[in-house]
Amino acid sequence: MGNLEEGLRWLDQASADLKTARDCLEDGNYYASAFFSQQAAEKALKGFLYSRGYRALLTHSVTDLLEEASKIESLFRGFLDYGRDLDRHYIGSRYPNFYPSGPAYKYYTREIAERCLSYAELMLREVERFLRR
């Protein structure tokens, strides 16, 4: 499998995760929407980097992946604040002991989920633009 094919494989999964994020938002599962938005962004960025020849990306941090991607395409640097926001939801959205009082899902709102979804959509769209030229 070549670099582009590997990148497209990751982008395909990122698209599926983005759909799941949208479905969760519509169902009112805001914590899950935020998590799947983070996953979509992470996998899209990994797809971009794999398409450029990277082999071992051992991080789950959208911020780290954006920093690496910006070494190749500077526009990714403009998404760093979005990456920081998405990274907050990788663990915080899933574990009942993350917040001091009550399970994580109770801390999530539609506004948070919509914001995360918009960040993930933006990143996925940009990666897709580079991979499907």
Q: Consecutive sets of 10 residues in the chain, 133 residues long: mean pLDDT of each? A: 90 98 98 98 98 94 98 97 98 92 94 98 97 80
Domains and CATH numbers, the chain: 3-131 (1.20.120.330)
pTM here is 0.96
27, 1 Cβ separation under 8 angstroms: no
41, 89 Cβ separation under 8 angstroms: no
pLDDT at residue 123, as a whole number: 98
Residue 23 CA: distances (Å) to CA of 29, 43, 81, 121: 9, 18, 25, 14
Integer Cα distance of 60 and 93 in angstroms: 14
pLDDT at residue 1, as a whole number: 61
Listed residue (76, 77, 105) closest to 92, CA to CA: 105
CA 116 vs. chain centroid, Å, equals 9
